[in-house]
Structure 1
Amino acid sequence: MSRLRVAGTAAAVVIPPAWNNWVLPWLGLGIRGRTAANTGFATGYALAMRGRPNWCAPRGVRYGLVSATVVAAGYAATLAIPSTRHRLGEFADRSPEVSAAEWVAVHIPIGTVYSEELVFRATLDPLLDKAFGTRIGALLGALTFGLWHIAPARAAGDSVPATIAVTSVGGFVFGWLGRRAESAAAPAFLHLAVNVGGAVASRLGRRLGGFRSG
């Protein structure tokens, strides 16, 4: 591998965590500003690194819809069981600055799913696969995705090591699905189902379980 290619690959790995953990928090933006900034960053990153999202690939859409349906069924089953419904209702509200509708319709799909899938599955994973092979590329991509979540974990008061571990596993699954479908659409649908489903299910769990806010 040439020095130029090594430098380019290293930059591709370092830039996303640096953006999300240092630059974006330093900007001090509200949630709407963060969504706009993340969208711009992801788009610029993908253009600069020649990302290949293949959003409209039929197989990607098909795999994504199937995966999302499985996740939705899992949330529905969890809500149907009183004990697990109660556990869902205990999760903290992660969207205090905006309405639930705005959170699930704008900030999760655009600020989180579009941005992260464009950066990681559409752009970084193919670069790492080309440089190191699929096995090592998958592990490096997943770990970088985990490191992306350090600052959000601190802001939410969550365990940083646990967050890195969980999101790295999630990144590995998203990456596997994206490689299999040859499209970022598949992990994007799955990612959307997990995040939107979690936000909606936790609220339904609180409502059905009799929780009161404040």
Structure 2
Amino acid sequence: MTVAAAATRPAPTRRRPGVWPTALVVLVLVGLNLANHVFGWESIWLGPLGALGLLAFARFSGLTWRQLGLSRRTHVVGVQWGLGVIGVVALVYLAGVLLPQTRTAFLDARYHLPPASALLTAFVIIPVGTILLEEVAFRSVLWAFLSRHARMWQVVVGSSLLFGLWHVLPASAAVTANPALGAAMVGLGAWQQAASVAGTVLFTALGGLVAGELRRRTGSLLASVGMHWATNALGVLFGLVAWRLV
């Protein structure tokens, strides 16, 4: 081949990864959500099984531990940020429980538990049955697949919106379980359920944005895990205190 021919030869185009693995992950998450909330499967085993399956598929598809937010090089910074967030959330919750005006927000009937059950829920059931799957799904595997096709802001927003939609089914129980939320929506009548679902989706999507920013800033899944545990598990522990103050 002559030099002139080589110069005019078109440069090879870089193939973009197919979108089908991303779509498959979304479909799997829909199936897991339905299985958990419609068919009544116990999430304490569904969470670890689902997380391991998603990670195995991600690794089989060529994603690295760094892309999944699980690189050993980012563990330290992830733990530091995670512990910092836990401390901030603990201070906010403490103030909320001590103030009578906001204490009712912690009186959730689902977590009106004896101390031993509250500790089991906060340190075993929530981390293993809820946080493990949700963090691996939305801030690790789905995040990494979306990063193949989208800009970072789109990854953060897209994963957060899907995280909000993940909570549509469990949102139906929130109004009856939490008296403060029920009182706030008592005047909505037939729209009470729809407002509860919409509010839950919006709130969790905003939480997903914060968790996503922690994931982006640190490169570590552990930072968003810390925030997720703080908002969920500390709510149970401080709810234990709130129920004893009423």
Q: Do the aligned partners of residues 190 and 44 (structure 1) sit closer, same or farther apart at CA in structure 2, a change above 3 Å counting? A: same
How many residues are paired up? 203
> Normalization by structure 2: what TM-score?
0.74
- Of residues 67, 70, 82, the one that matches 1:54 is 70
- Of residues 49, 52, 67, the one that matches 1:43 is 52
CA radius of gyration, larger in: 2
Moved over 6 A (4+): 1-4
- Of residues 164, 177, 180, the one that matches 2:217 is 180
Where does residue 113 of structure 1 map in the other structure?
A: 131
Q: Hey, what's the Cα distance between the residues in 2 that align with 1:84 and 1:191? A: 21
Where does residue 165 of structure 2 map in the other structure?
A: 147
Q: Do the aligned partners of residues 61 and 3 (structure 1) sit closer, same or farther apart at CA in structure 2, a change above 3 Å counting? A: closer
Return the letter of the residue paired with 2:46: A
Q: How much has 1:89 moved relative to structure 2?
A: 4.4
2:167 maps to 1:137: no
Describe the SS at the equivalent of 2:19: helix
Describe the SS at the equivalent of 1:150: coil
> Normalization by structure 1: what TM-score?
0.84
Q: Hey, what's the Cα distance between the residues in 1 that align with 2:209 and 2:54? A: 20
> After superposition, what is the alpha-carbon deviation per residue over 1:112-150, rounded to whole angstroms, capped at 9, x for unaligned?
111211111111112212211111111110011111112
- Whether the 8 Å CA contact 1:129–1:138 is kept in 2: the answer is no
Over the residues paired in the alignment, what is the CA RMSD in angstroms?
Answer: 2.4
Where does residue 14 of structure 1 map in the other structure?
A: 27
- Whether the 8 Å CA contact 1:53–1:118 is kept in 2: the answer is no
Q: Hey, what's the Cα distance between the residues in 2 that align with 1:55 and 1:199? A: 31
Q: Hey, what's the Cα distance between the residues in 2 that align with 1:137 and 1:80? A: 38
Amino-acid identity (%)? 32
Q: Hey, what's the Cα distance between the residues in 2 that align with 1:23 and 1:93? A: 20
- Whether the 8 Å CA contact 1:113–1:191 is kept in 2: the answer is yes
- Whether the 8 Å CA contact 1:55–1:184 is kept in 2: the answer is no
Return the letter of the residue paired with 2:22: T
Return the letter of the residue paired with 1:176: E
